[in-house]
Amino acid sequence: MEIKNKPEMDESFRDSIGTVTQKGERIWIFPKKPKGKFYNARTIVSAILLLLFYGLPFVKVNGNPLILLNVLQRKIILFGIPFGPHDFHIFVIAMIIGIISIFLFTV
């Protein structure tokens, strides 16, 4: 199938860099700070998440921290439940179920 009335494209923009003048001087780019309700909401959510991620290890449940990821001693505590290296198969099964669920429910 042939395309009819194809407009001619001016490709002169490919001959120069967009941030350099004809004399070779640099054209500085000054980005604007984002603003708006979504930017403000994202800032608030990120602050809350940072507080949670830095604060949850200090919350104790049954004498254990709520979240602990100790790689050197091979000890993981999630929501107060301690997991060791022998419990890795539970983690793998949970991750596979999570990935399959995301695939099935979003596609």
Q: How far apart are CA 46 and CA 54, in angstroms?
A: 12
**Close Cβ partners of 21 (under 8 Å, ≥ 6 residues apart):** 27
Give the type of residue at 100.
I
Dihedral-angle region of residue 62 (phi above 0 means left; psi in -120 to 50 means alpha; beta otherwise): left
Is residue 15 pLDDT above 70, yes or no?
yes
Per-residue pLDDT tens over the stretch 21-72? 888 889 999 999 999 999 999 999 999 999 998 998 899 888 888 888 888 9
Domain ranges of the chain: 33-106
